[in-house]
Amino acid sequence: MKKLLLGEQGLLVIFVVAFALVAIFVPNFLTERNMLGLLQSVVTVGIVACTMMLCLAARDFDLSVGSTVAFTGMVAVMVSNGSGSILLGIAAALAAGTVVGWLNGFVIAKFHINALITTLATMQIVRGLALISSDGRAVGINDPAFFNIALSKFLTIPTPIWVMVALFVIFGFILNHTVFGKNVLAIGGNPEASRLAGVKVDRTRIYIFALQGLVCAIAGILLASRITSGQPNAAVGLELSVISACVLGGVSLAGGRATMTGVIVGVMIMGIAENAMNLLNIPAFYQYIVRGVILLLAVLLDNLRSRALGRR
Amino acid sequence: MAYLEFTGITKTYPGVKALSDVSFGVEKGAVHGLMGENGAGKSTLIKILSGDLHANEGRISIDGQEQKYASTGDAFDNGVIVIHQELQLVPELTVAENLTLGRFPATSGVISRRRMIDEVSARLKSAGIEVDPRRKVKSLSIGERQMVEIAKAVMLDARVIALDEPTSSLSSHESEVLFKMIDKLRAEGKVILYVSHRMDEIFRLCDSMTVLRDGRMAAHHPSMEGLTREQIVAEMVGREISDIWGYRPRVQGNVRLKVENLSGSRLKAPASFEVRAGEILGFFGLIGAGRSELMRLIYGADPRHTGVLTLDGATVAADDPHGMIRAGLVLCTEDRKHDGIIQGRSIAENINISSRRHSAHAGILNRAKEVETAETYIKKLRVRTPSRHQDIINLSGGNQQKVILGRWLSEQGIRVLIIDEPTRGIDVGAKSEIYDLLYQLAEDGMAIVVVSSELPEVMGICDRLMVMCEGRINAEVARDDFRENQILAAALPDKAVPQSMTLS
């Protein structure tokens, strides 16, 4: 039992058991409609978790993702409305996200400022930018074609889910099959040793954050399309859900340990918990408590697993 | 029986005897010197005294009572205080707070600042220490902190005080203040163990002394009368070099690496030297002599202030490890745990981290090639492990060192290998394997720089030796002129270097 839970596949076991229990005991859970709804509901968290995984694996931290998602969604809507071109809006959002991420990375890597503090600052700055640019109000989308990003389907499955799956595949590949991915894990394992082994540590960290910003923009565009507007207050608290999902997925906060499958499972566990609570009509207030407890359990599990692996 | 008595102290680690049957006594009111080369067992003995380590055999008694400590706190409560090179003070607290930490003068939980200051002032005054008890420790100089640390020992009514290289970071004036305090403690009847590399301090302070060598008592002098510096040096080094080195002479080529006027923030005096293809050049010095600092500057691990590097006649432009590896120069660092191995990652990952760039295409790994590389070096270097997937943290020191060597040997076009403390924490069998590997690499034309604080090691394997002391290259010696006492004399921080040395 202990081996099963703390070993390599422990998470998958927990996931399968949780899934089976929920499927049996929660009515209407295992329906096509609810399954698609469940996947839709984790799109934002799932997409951002791809790069948060890299960030945590390199011993860094990013609190600014929620603000960046809201800000880039806002940029996408406002630029589309202003220019009449959705493509231009999307491009502007992707660029804005990348710039925010790059700035985070630059400050953290070059000035050696703690990632927690840096992104705590940018989290507020970027949220402020989103509020200022819209004067604090939601900005509706003019061109109905923008809605179609989220509404369109391919093989009966909505596009955002495809995007999330594609990113899972891409980042799984990046983590395991590229020099960049391996360098990220090495930096998390021992930054100084990695530097002395010839890894460009500063540059790699900047790339991680720039990618994080880019991926937040993708999530921001999809979210804006789904809620048919740019909302300056969108995705508040997203950073915590994403970090919870990653930690739940076995990403070590001490760095150096991460798997894409683990993160996917982490995201799904979070999604299932929320979905099941909604189906059971558990009031939203109580859901906060459950989410907190899940995070706490995740950290405890991480701790136990680290000890089982003989690391401090 | 003496007041403080060590009887038959033996400490073994797997494969190594750190201390073997060490017995001596120190009387009340005496300062006892402890000398020996790095690795002779001084620190181990001090750690056993302070309860940090436990002896396998033997006992320690104070005032006729056998002492058995479960921890350092236990030793502390029994009046045994060790003052380490790294001090144990809380920087954000004041001197007074530090000195009363754990037993603040308080009334129902409210600290009486005045009582605290008064109490500490009186103590400091009686000890002759001029430090304002209201100052924060972080604002004090290293010397002043050392004084505060000693004041702590005084305030706690220590019976035995051990000082481990206390003057290594003190100015000569600060050292003098320290010596006066030690004289005072002696007069009060304390027992003081004084560990130092500095011969003049030993003669200035000590009433008796013990020399350790390879974990054994090389000599015990109940009195310092008639002792000479030369005699002590002879006792420190007087060992037979057994032939674990297996030295093989080689043909040397042209100058491979030339270092000119290299300096940085932790190595102020510009250093220059050169090493030839096929040569093994040793760097010897005591801990803190600046050897590792120099190597880190060459490798670009720390920023260089001045200096030019030339590799095979061409100036090297690179100034960071990334660039130096590409130029063909690599460094195996001294502290494997801190900046060598990548914890939590497999052996294969640790080997491939740098050389994978040769097999990767457009940033995408060639996994088959990486497996092959890892297996090749695990086999070639005889890394003892169940598989290449093993987390490197689970390997022994020797095997970790081999993996790091594998990391660099799998690189292409490496012309200079710098290896800092190649066999620290490695058992004898693995040592010979590593030496043999270094010879092979040199025979293939690599220039090798070996840094070590073990004199027999550098004398055993190097073709030429640079001796560093207090941040400078003090002497250069060819293999034919290797004499232990002269090399050691050049490494000891003392102005008088024997005339027979070839000064660089």
**Closest by CA position to B254, among listed B447, B451, B463, B465:** B447
Q: What is the per-residue pLDDT for B501?
A: 39
Strand partners, B32: B193, B208
Q: What is the mean pLDDT of residues A275-304?
A: 82
For the CA atoms of A27, A29, A30, A35, the dihedral, rounded to the nearest 10 degrees, stands at 160
Burial class (CB in 10 A: 0-12, 13-18, 19+), A288: exposed
Interface of A with B in 160-189 (CB under 8 A): 177-180, 182-183, 185-186, 188-189
Length of chain B: 504
B72 touches chain A (CB under 8 A): no
User: Are B393 and A310 inside 8 Å of each other by CB?
Assistant: yes
Q: Who's near B41: CB < 8 A, 6+ residues apart?
A: B11, B18, B19, B22, B212, B214, B215, B216
Select the residue of B342, B363, B391 nearest A179 (Cβ to Cβ): B363
- Which pLDDT belongs to residue B143? 74
Q: CB distance from A310 to chain B under 8 Å?
A: yes
Proportion of chain B above pLDDT 90, given as a percent? 32
**CATH class as words, domain B4-237:** alpha beta
Task: Give the one of A196, A198, A311 whose C-beta lies nearest to B344's C-beta.
Answer: A311
**DSSP 8-state symbol, B391:** B
Residue B340 with chain A: CB contacts under 8 Å: 193, 196
Question: Higher confidence at residue B112 or residue A96?
Answer: A96
Neighbours of B177 (CB within 10 A): 18
Of 3.40.50.300, 3.40.50.2000, 3.40.50.1370, 3.30.465.10, the CATH number of B252-328+415-495 is 3.40.50.300
| pLDDT surpasses 50 at A167 | yes
Distance, in Å, from the CA atom of A43 to the CA atom of A268, rounded to the nearest integer, reads 10
Residues of B with Cβ-Cβ distance to A196 under 8 angstroms: 299, 301, 321, 331, 333, 339-340
Q: Average of pLDDT values for A27-47?
A: 89
Residue B283 in this model has a pLDDT that exceeds 90: yes
Instruction: Grade residue A8 by pLDDT with cuts at 50, 70 and 90.
Output: low
- Contact flag B338-A193 (C-beta cutoff 8 Å): yes
Q: Residue B198 above 90 pLDDT?
A: no
Q: Using CB atoms within 10 A of its CB, is residue A65 exposed (0-12), middle (13-18) or buried (19+)?
A: buried
Name the residue ranges covered by the structural domains of chain B: 4-237, 252-328+415-495, 339-412
pLDDT at B241: 41
d(CA A264, CA A168): 8
Tell me whether B344 touches chain A (CB under 8 Å): yes
Q: Dump pLDDT digits (tens) for A178-228.
A: 999 999 999 998 999 999 988 999 999 999 999 999 999 999 999 999 988
Flag whether residue B408 sits within 8 Å of chain A, measured between CB atoms: no
Task: Say whether A193 and B321 touch across the interface (CB within 8 A).
Answer: no
**B341/A contact by beta carbon, under 8 A:** yes
Residue B85 banded pLDDT, cuts 50, 70, 90 = low
Closest CA to B341 of A311, A204, A176: A311
Of B343, B356, B360, the CB nearest to A190: B343
What pLDDT band is residue B426 in, cutting at 50, 70 and 90?
low
Condensed to tens digits (0 to 9), the pLDDT of residues B443-487 reads 999 999 999 888 888 998 999 999 998 888 988 999 988 888 888
Question: Chain A within 8 Å of B345 (Cβ-Cβ)?
Answer: yes
Exposed, middle or buried by CB within 10 Å (0-12, 13-18, 19+), for B303?
Answer: exposed
Q: Where are the alpha helices (DSSP H) in A111-151?
A: 115-134, 147-151
How many Cβ atoms sit within 10 Å of the Cβ of residue B301? 20
Chain mean pLDDT for chain A: 88
Gap between the Cα atoms of B217 and B20, Å rounded = 8
d(CA B172, CA B493): 12
- Distance to chain A for B377, nearest Cα, Å: 17
Structure confidence at residue A104 as a pLDDT band (50, 70, 90): very high
Structure tokens that stand for B260 in this block: 């000119």
Chain A hits for B364, Cβ within 8 Å = 177-179
Q: Is the dihedral of CA B208, B214, B215, B216 positive or negative?
A: negative
pLDDT tens digits, B337-377: 888 899 888 999 999 999 998 888 888 999 999 999 999 99
B345 vs A180, A189, A309: nearest CB: A189
pLDDT at position B30 is 92
* Bridge partner list, B258: B274, B310
- Tens digit of each residue's pLDDT (9 = 90 or more) over B299-324: 999 999 999 999 999 999 999 999 99
What is residue B151's predicted lDDT score, i.e. its pLDDT? 79
**Contact call for A196 and B339, based on CB within 8 A:** yes
Q: State the pLDDT at residue A207.
A: 96
Total CB pairs under 8 A between chain A and B: 84
Pairing status of strand B110-111 against strand B4-13 = unpaired
**Torsion-angle region of residue B15: left (phi > 0), alpha (psi -120 to 50) or beta?**
left
Write down the ipTM of this complex. 0.81
B26-37 tens-digit pLDDT: 998 999 999 887
pLDDT of residue A43: 93
Segment among A94-98, A132-136, B235-239, B357-361 with least mean pLDDT: B235-239
Residue B14: the pLDDT is 61
B356 contacts A179? CB cut-off 8 A: yes
Look at residue B453 in the predicted model and tell me its pLDDT. 80
Main-chain dihedrals φ then ψ at residue B103, nearest 5 degrees:
-150, 55
What are the helix and strand counts (H, E) for chain B? 17, 22
pLDDT of residue B461: 92
Q: Is the pLDDT of residue B500 over 70?
A: no
Of residues A80 and B430, the one with the higher pLDDT is A80
Q: Residue B334 burial (CB < 10 Å; 0-12/13-18/19+)?
A: buried
CA-to-CA dists, residue B310 to B90, B295, B303, B451, B476, angstroms: 46, 15, 17, 20, 20
On average, the pLDDT of chain B sits at 85
The structure tokens listed for B433 are 């394997």
Q: What's the pLDDT band for A254 if we cut at 50, 70, 90? A: confident
Cβ of residue B14 closer than 8 Å to a chain A Cβ: no
